[in-house]
Homo-oligomer: A and B are copies of this chain.
Amino acid sequence: MKKITFTLLLVAAGLGTVAGQEDSVMMEKIYSKSFESGQAYENLRYLTKTIGNRIAGSAKAEEAVNWSKSLMESLPFDQVYLQAVDVPYWHRGATEEAYILPTNEPLQVLALGGSIGTGKAGLTAEVIEVELLSELRQHGDAVRGKIVFVNKPWDESLVETGVAYGLNSSQRSRGPAEAAKLGAVAYLFRSLSSSTTDDFPHTGGTRYVAGIDSIPAIAIAAVSAQKLSAALKKDPKTTVFLKNESAWKGLVHTHNVIAEWKGTEKPDEIITIGGHIDSWDVGEGAHDNGTGVMGTLDAIRTLMELGYKPKRTIRLVFYMNEENGVQGAMKYGEAAKAKSEKIVAAIESDAGGFAPRGFDIKSSATAVSWIQQHWKPLFEQKFWVSRFLQGSPGVDSGVWGAHFPNTVMFNFRPDPHRYFDIHHTAKDVFEAVDRRELQSGVAALASLLYLLDQQVDQITK
């Protein structure tokens, strides 16, 4: 009985059909080409080593925009253009310091994106430690004049580190306003890090709420957080000195970078693929998100090198400022909506360049089931890509997708084990990327792009 079931599954999976065999042959070509002559890794080297990190609004971000445009222009796209977008530019400033007093023991910190500065003199205050923001209100007036220190450890138990990140990340964004409302003078937030044993602080976006006084909002590394917590247990009156000079610098005129490869049969049907070109201002923005932009570009380049002619229009988008405002994705969505474009599918890569594991899919359960039956078998055994599950789109697609509720969206999922160890830190550098893992992801992206171009009507009908 088991053998019969297996045979039935193979037939259902389309591997027994001529079309399934053609797809399989095409994917072998894609994988060979990507491993043998893929350029994502060398392009990533340039983006990270020559340009470096590139926070939206900075000169480096604009350098990345212009270099990306020239890279796209070197390929046989039908059209390459910049899409103007204004972003608020936040600058970290020269100094970031934190010490436990009176021992002067240093704490490793990084201001959160959007934080105001402490002023040149810095500030010194007692510390109130909580694990959850909800505990703050119970402390009432005791919060006034203090540094709020949210010290919630990472949930280590989950293989899916993205879920662990999600469990704590709202405290990063909501925290400064909630602390300020109760009269706190600064917000110290334990880094969202899957490593509990290193002392690298992780930055990330936060936000203030209009009408509530802004306070400095600063990430503290895991080991430093444990150190501070121990000092507070010993002496609850322990004070901390904080100094940072970050500030908003106003609006800067910048761009999304877009390239189009026109469809030969249904040019009005658009498949959007891409990721964000900006990064945080520490490390080199390698896994977040150099691999995403250089990977999606190389997926298209691989199909071009194979002489492929797309049926539908494939549009590559490098979004500006995913990290600190999402203005690029908003602009992309507004422009596409104004033209009433028919975006039939979207792929986003913004979860690192580790070994590819699959795609989260924003679509009906019926469509996901169809994909599991027809496409998963093409990827699973030979190429080690096997996750095709209903899930959320990437951040940028999710934002512009508000205008396109029927677009089927794929969120590329590389292996999740290492991502949140280096995410938003000085450790996110070119050397943390493995060439074979990256090019394997390029091949997975190119394969999905090919299958969507050929058969997207099967999951949108």
In the bound complex, what is the Cα–Cα distance between A421 and B435 (angstroms)? 10
Stretch at the interface among A152-160, A168-176, A211-219, A255-263: A152-160
Binds B, one of A66-74, A228-236, A315-323, A384-392: A384-392
Tell me if A305 is interfacial: C-beta within 8 Å of chain B. no
Task: Decide: A386 and B386 in contact? CB cutoff 8 A.
Answer: yes
Does A120 count as interface, using CB distance less than 8 angstroms? no
Which of A29-37, A55-63, A295-303 forms part of the interface with chain B? A29-37
Chain B hits for A132, CB < 8 A: none
Question: Are A417 and B389 touching (Cβ within 8 A)?
Answer: no
Q: Which of A124-166 contact B (CB under 8 A)?
A: 156-161
A340 within 8 A of B: no
Q: Please, how many angstroms separate the alpha-carbon atoms of A387 and B355 in the complex?
A: 15
Q: Could you tell me how many residues of chain A have their Cβ less than 8 Å away from some Cβ of chain B?
A: 43
How long is the Cα–Cα vector from A386 to B382 in the complex, in angstroms?
A: 13
**Which of A195, A389, A435 has the most chain B CB atoms closer than 10 A to its own CB?**
A435
A106 interface residue, CB < 8 Å from B? no
Measured in the bound complex, the distance between the Cα atoms of B2 and A370 in whole Å is 8
**Per a CB cutoff under 8 Å, which of B383, B418, B434 touches A437?**
B418
Bound together, the chains give a CA A365 to CA B369 distance in angstroms of 26
Q: Smallest Cβ distance from A166 to chain B, in angstroms?
A: 15
Binding site for B on A (CB under 8 A): 2-3, 5-6, 28, 31-32, 35-36, 156-161, 194-195, 197, 355, 357, 365-366, 369-370, 373, 380-384, 386-387, 389, 415-418, 421, 434-437, 440
Q: Which residues of B contact A365 (CB under 8 A)?
A: 2-3
Question: In the complex the two chains form, is A6's CB within 8 Å of B369's CB?
Answer: yes
Beta-carbon contact of A387 and B387 below 8 Å: no
Instruction: Tell me whether A31 and B384 are in contact in the complex, defined as CB-CB below 8 angstroms, given that A369-B5, A418-B437 are known contacts.
Output: no
User: Is B369 within 8 A of A357, CB to CB?
Assistant: no
Q: Are B370 and A384 touching (Cβ within 8 A)?
A: no
CA distance A395 to B42 in the complex (A): 37
**How far is B439's CA from A197's CA once the two chains are assembled, in angstroms?**
15
B2 touches A436 (CB 8 A): no
A415 with B384: CB separation less than 8 A: yes
The answer to whether A415 and B418 touch (CB under 8 A), given A3-B369, A35-B157, A381-B389, is no
